Amino acid sequence: MAQLSEFASYLREWRGRRGWSQEDLARRSGLSRAGVSAIETGRLVPSAAAALALAAALECRVEDLFRLRKPETGAPTWAWEPRREPCRYWAAELGGAVRLYPAEPGPLGMVPHDGVVHDGTRQAGEPIAIDPERTLIMACCDPAVGLLAAELAREAGVRLLAFQRPSRAALTLLGQGLVHAAGIHLSRHDEPGGNAGVVREELGPGYTLLRVAHWEEGVALAPGLELATVGAAIRSDLRWIGRESGSGARQCLDELLAGRWIPNRIASDHRGVAEALRGGWADAGVCLRLVSEEAGLDFLGVRQEAYDLCFPTRWEDDPRLKALVQAVRSPSYRQALADLPGYDSSAAGALQRVS
């Protein structure tokens, strides 16, 4: 029988997402309010019947509400060293070990941190935002990743932390075991081998690709240029904003310019390209249609690309990755993607093994 110290309850989070009081949950599940309170605060391990009743009331699985804690495997270690202290951090469990991630700006905005390191001393926040075992770490460049984060939080109680990284850098972190999933778009949607060939070349076999979308990448133009074709843009004397090496946008840009020009300025992500154009630092750059239209820029489509999330096949039974697959396949998420300019979610949720 599980001891209290081994038992983790997520009942409060699930009740909170429904907007219910403890009295509401007690009435719907047939338990007492005192019993609900004791289970939420970890003072009581529920019986099988109580756990099933609570799961039925909340319309979720028992394992979503209750889990056994994994044995401690030593003090948490940094996924990568912080640049300075004091440093806010997030905590997540990967492969049986807890890692600390220096907080950094990203596509999800200001995410509550789990603690602060100051003068080498780690101080946990009160309360910690979420259990490390319910945190999913992703490296990607998808400007719409916030939609996925919202879906995971709402439907599975999983916190998604997305670090802004180009495709090949994301794969490197995945190969080092520092993220659960890497977002990549390094091939056209109809290219033989697709992203699987890139993963096989970079990391080898043993990975699974989860299709998220086909999206449109192309050339965004600064206001007032009035160029009608990609060819006209390439032939014109324009100032191009570059992208960092290893990104899908840089690959597309290199193919377009074919070594004719070397951009002097580099943007770190798709929105950085749009900011450079709107700020007058450049005339043209490669980014997604979504970002270009958000910024009110003219856009010349170049190609449709396959955007996939890659994760180790050996982790496919991890509840967070199961939740990720379910979230990408959910009708609400697929519809939200389909509503975005340049996103096609008709194949979202397809799995491909890299062997």
Read off the pLDDT of residues 80-107 as tens digits, 9 standing for 90 and up.
Answer: 989 888 899 999 999 888 999 999 988 8
Whether 155 and 42 share a structural domain: no
Q: Among 173, 138, 178, 175, which residue's Cα sits nearest to residue 308?
A: 138
User: pTM, whole model, 2 decimals?
Assistant: 0.80
* Weakest mean pLDDT among 114-118, 188-192, 292-296: 188-192
By CB atoms closer than 10 A (0-12, 13-18, 19+), residue 178 is buried
Whether 231 and 339 share a structural domain: yes
Boundary-marking domain end, from 48, 68, 88: 68
Whether 166 and 48 share a structural domain: no
Res 17 pLDDT > 90: no
Boundary-marking domain end, from 26, 48, 68: 68
**Average pLDDT, stretch 248-277?**
89
Whether 26 and 161 share a structural domain: no
Whether 204 and 329 share a structural domain: yes
Whether 33 and 178 share a structural domain: no
The C-alpha atoms of residue 222 and residue 205 are separated, in whole angstroms, by 42
Task: Give the DSSP H or E segment for 321.
Answer: helix 319-329
What pLDDT, on a 0 to 100 scale, did the predictor assign at position 1? 40
Task: Report residue 323 as tokens.
Answer: 């939740």
Instruction: Determine how many CB atoms are found less than 10 A away from the CB of residue 211.
Output: 22
Residue in the structure block whose two tokens are 């050339």: 219
Across the chain, what does the average pLDDT equal? 89
Whether 58 and 139 share a structural domain: no
What pLDDT, on a 0 to 100 scale, did the predictor assign at position 74? 63
309 falls within a domain:
yes
165 falls within a domain:
yes
319 falls within a domain:
yes
**Average pLDDT, stretch 252-275?**
88
CATH number of the domain to which 60 belongs: 1.10.260.40
337 falls within a domain:
yes
pLDDT in tens, 150-203: 999 998 989 999 999 999 999 999 999 999 999 999 987 667 778 999 999 999
Q: First and final CA of the chain: distance in angstroms? A: 40
Whether 176 and 44 share a structural domain: no
Whether 174 and 259 share a structural domain: yes
The C-alpha atoms of residue 175 and residue 169 are separated, in whole angstroms, by 10
The C-alpha atoms of residue 291 and residue 294 are separated, in whole angstroms, by 5
What pLDDT, on a 0 to 100 scale, did the predictor assign at position 232? 95
Res 6 pLDDT > 70: no
Q: Using pLDDT thresholds of 50, 70 and 90, give the confidence band for residue 45.
A: confident
Task: Report residue 182 as tokens.
Answer: 């890497």
Report the Cα 184 to chain-centroid distance in Å: 11
Whether 64 and 143 share a structural domain: no
Q: Using pLDDT thresholds of 50, 70 and 90, give the confidence band for residue 347.
A: very high
Report the Cα 43 to chain-centroid distance in Å: 34
Whether 313 and 191 share a structural domain: yes
Boundary-marking domain end, from 50, 68, 86: 68
194 falls within a domain:
yes
CATH number of the domain to which 214 belongs: 3.40.190.290
DSSP secondary structure letter of residue 188 = B
Whether 51 and 139 share a structural domain: no
354 falls within a domain:
yes
The secondary structure of 258-297 as a DSSP string is TTS---SEEESSHHHHHHHHHTTS-SEEEEEHHHHHHTT-
254 falls within a domain:
yes
CB-CB contact of 29 with 56 (8 Å): yes
Instruction: Determine how many CB atoms are found less than 10 A away from the CB of residue 142.
Output: 25
230 falls within a domain:
yes
Containing domain of residue 12, as a range?
4-68
Q: Could you tell me what percent of the chain has a pLDDT over 90? A: 64
Res 136 pLDDT > 60: yes
The C-alpha atoms of residue 185 and residue 213 are separated, in whole angstroms, by 10
**Count of the separate structural domains present in the chain:** 2
